[in-house]
Each structure stands twice: as structure tokens, then as C-alpha cells.
């Protein structure tokens, strides 16, 4: 895995890792990153932790599917909604990236 992007929005840190499972993963980069807040209920409950998501990216750069691989349920909802708004470049065909 290669670390590409690290960002912090309102206490929610996001790092994009390229998945070696995608043949063309070395070229896949986020082009539009939409920020999203730390989930309110998670903050109120004091929930912290790492999320790991598998993101399926279409040829046009849009997000087809987001699968949670590892995360606390209270952290998933807002994060998945935010990641769905991201745009990617570098996918010749559909590809997969992991977001941690």
C-alpha cells in the first residue's frame, strides 16, 4: 500500500491508500475531495478509531460503491456519504482504492 493523501476535517482524519488489488492503482488519485464533519453522534459518544473502506471507482471518476472493511458503526455513516462525493482520476477501467 502506498500513502497518497492525508487530510483532517473537524477531527476526522482521512488517508487514501492505493490498493495493490487494482492493476492500475498506481495512477488513481483523488481529484475532488469533499470535506465532511466528524459524525455528531460519534463525537457525543466519545467514539474514535480508524476506518478502513474499499472504494470502487468508475471510469469517469465517480464512486460506484463504498464497502466498510473496518470501522465503528457510528463513524461509517458520515464518512461513507462524504467519500461518495469524491471524484477520482486515473482509472482506465473500474478500479478499487482503499481509504483509511
pLDDT above 60 (res 97): yes
Confirm if 12 and 84 have CB atoms less than 8 A apart. Answer: no
State how far the Cα of 84 lies from the Cα of 94, in Å rounded to an integer.
Answer: 15
Rounded-to-integer distance, Cα 93 and Cα 77, Å? 27
Query: What was the pLDDT predicted at 22?
Result: 45
Do 57 and 64 form a contact (C-beta atoms < 8 A)?
yes
- How many angstroms separate the Cα of 16 from the Cα of each of 13, 43, 47, 50, 88? 10, 23, 21, 13, 11
pLDDT in tens, 62-90: 999 999 998 889 888 778 888 888 888 87
Domains defined along the chain, listed by start = 2-99 (3.30.2420.10)
More reliable by pLDDT, 1 or 89:
89
Predicted confidence at residue 93, as pLDDT, reads: 80
Strand partners of residue 54: 67, 98
Work out the pLDDT band at 4, boundaries 50, 70, 90.
Answer: very low
Q: What is the pLDDT of residues 19-59, one digit of tens each?
A: 434 444 556 778 888 777 888 888 899 988 888 888 898 88
Contact indicator for 63, 81 with CB cutoff of 8 Å = no
Amino acid at each position: 500500500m502506498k500513502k497518497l493523501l492525508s487530510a483532517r476535517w473537524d477531527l476526522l482524519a482521512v488517508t487514501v491508500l492505493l490498493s495493490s488489488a487494482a492493476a492500475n492503482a498506481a495512477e488513481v488519485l483523488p481529484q475532488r475531495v469533499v470535506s465532511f464533519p466528524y459524525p455528531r453522534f460519534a463525537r457525543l459518544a466519545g467514539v474514535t478509531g480508524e476506518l478502513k473502506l474499499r472504494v470502487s471507482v468508475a471510469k469517469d471518476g465517480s464512486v460506484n460503491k463504498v464497502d466498510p472493511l473496518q470501522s465503528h458503526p457510528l463513524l461509517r455513516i458520515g464518512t461513507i456519504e462524504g467519500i461518495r462525493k469524491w471524484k477520482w482520476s486515473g482509472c482506465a477501467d473500474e478500479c478499487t482504492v482503499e481509504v483509511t
